Amino acid sequence: MSAISLAHEAQLARALEVAGATLAGRAPEAVPVDELAAVLYGQWYAVPNAPAALLAAAASERSSRHTLPLAAILRATHPDAEVWESAVVVRSGLHGTVVVRMEAGGIRAVARGDLTPEVTGKVGRTPEPGDRVAVRARAGGLVEGGWWRTWGGGCRAGQAPAGDLTRIYLGPRADLIHLLVPAVLGALRDLDVPWLFKVGSEWPMLARPDGAVLYLPDTAVGLAAGDATPVVAQLVGAVGGLVSGSGPALSVPVAQGISWVQDPGDGSSFGESVCRALALAFLSRPELHRPDDGALRSERFVVLAAALGEAGIDPEAPHLRQRPKEAA
């Protein structure tokens, strides 16, 4: 049976502390799994990096930038924000968008603020099918589910690429967030695979260790195979000084403010999957409820390792994609 690695023992010990405090005075059967998983997610997995939170507060006092909507700043700093391409209006789209056929090929849905008519007399009017317009080359730049998103390489609009993915977590420095988007996208400029980059759309989210997340195919980064591709070094070099802190719990550090995991591939985030597995383990195993007096610590980790294994998570490498239970 796999054992919990020394590198993860301290992190998981903290998870047990959070779970124990949540359960204090309550019968385990009275605590819903989803409730405990949510507490673990907010107070253990994605707890703000203290240095990042302090930096964000200090930057807020020094600059009026933090009074502006974060999503607007991210849109404006996208390197393609003022690059325009010719297109023809096809029809109105969902949520106030306009569907256009690009002159260079392809169909896009763009926000009204991301296109302008080529005929001056039509400025301010509702675009009609057949109108020739100029649209921003920027893909995305919109907020969905609390995250500002942009994408490229043929990625589906606003969605993570299909297939096996690696999530690269960045801990943004709030005072330098206006530099992060162009830095990341610059490192991806010549990449010919689908990718998605998202940033928390509210200022407090930037203090999270996963305040920004980059999704790339496993093969594009090579981290899970132990053979990092050049794009990893390019990304590390591009964001140096723009990110800080440690990564989310159980992620693998790459550099200061940068870490990675494999995407679970089941529609849940890595943090959601791990926190739910830990919540199930804690609520179903009385051995984990005992106070950590040091003497029983190794025994508790044996129990926890078995529980994670049953959930398909490798205790020695929880950052890797979950294994099917029959193969666990």
Identify the segments of the chain with pLDDT beneath 50. 1, 325-328
Residue 141: predicted pLDDT: 84
Bridge partners (DSSP) listed for residue 172: 243
Residue 221: predicted pLDDT: 97
Residue 4: predicted pLDDT: 82
231-255 residue pLDDT tens? 999 999 999 999 999 999 999 999 9
Distance CA(60)–CA(175), nearest Å, equals 8
Can you read off the two tokens belonging to residue 5? Answer: 């690695």
Residue 55: predicted pLDDT: 55
Residue 293: predicted pLDDT: 62
Distance CA(224)–CA(217), nearest Å, equals 11
Residue 286: predicted pLDDT: 86
Can you read off the two tokens belonging to residue 52? Answer: 């990042």
Residue 59: predicted pLDDT: 53
How many Cβ atoms are within 10 Å of 62's Cβ, its own excluded? 9
Can you read off the two tokens belonging to residue 303? Answer: 């129990």
